[in-house]
Amino acid sequence: MIGTPPSRRPMWHDPAEHARDFSERYAEPINIEVESRMVELGIDPLKIGWRDLGEDHKAFYPDIAEAGNVSPDGRIVVGAGLFNPELIADIYGEEAGRLFGDSRIEDRLDSIIAHEYEEHRHDMSHVEALKTAPKSELPISDRAREIAEAMKRGWER
C-alpha cells in the first residue's frame, strides 16, 4: 500500500471540507466529466466553464463551495458542492438534501447544470431557475428533475 492506510486516515466530520478535499484531489478527471456532460446536454461550448487568471479553462472548480455558479455572460461552472448533500439540505431542506445524497453523481450533476443553465436564461434569477429547472429543455435525467423539484419545494418552504 502506498500512503496512509484507511484505518489511520482522519475521519471527515465537516462535509464541506471533505467535499473540497475530494474535489481538489480529483479535480482534473472531474473537470473532464463535467465538461463532457455539459456538451452531451447541449450546452453551447462557449458557455462552458471559464478561465481564471493564470489558469486553464475549467468547467469544475474545487475551490467553489457551491454546487454551481454562472457568470454574468452565462458561463457555467460546477463546484465542490456536487459532493456535499448537507449543503443542499441546508439551503433547500432535508428532502432535497436526502434525495441529492441518495442520487448518483451523474444525476446530481445534471440537476446542477440545469439549474445554472436556467438561471442564466432567466436574467440570473435564482428563484426563476428553481421554478424552471425541473422542466428544463435540457435532456437531463428523470432523477435530476426530481432533485430540482425537491430543491424548488425546499426553497418555497
pLDDT digits (tens, 9 = 90+) for 15-64: 667 667 777 777 898 999 999 999 999 999 999 998 764 567 799 989 88
pLDDT digits (tens, 9 = 90+) for 138-157: 999 999 999 999 999 999 87
Instruction: Assess if residue 103 is contained within a domain.
Output: yes
Domain containing 97 equals 15-156
CA distance linking residue 53 with residue 120, whole number of Å? 23
Instruction: Assess if residue 6 is contained within a domain.
Output: no
Instruction: Assess if residue 8 is contained within a domain.
Output: no
CA distance linking residue 123 with residue 99, whole number of Å? 28
Instruction: Assess if residue 117 is contained within a domain.
Output: yes
Q: How many domains does the chain have?
A: 1
Q: What is the pLDDT of residue 55?
A: 65
Instruction: Assess if residue 5 is contained within a domain.
Output: no
Q: What is the pLDDT of residue 11?
A: 53
For the chain, where are the alpha helices, taking DSSP H only?
A: 15-25, 27-41, 85-92, 94-101, 105-121, 126-132, 142-156
Q: Which of 56, 76, 55, 57 is nearest to 67 (CA)?
A: 76
CA distance linking residue 99 with residue 85, whole number of Å? 8
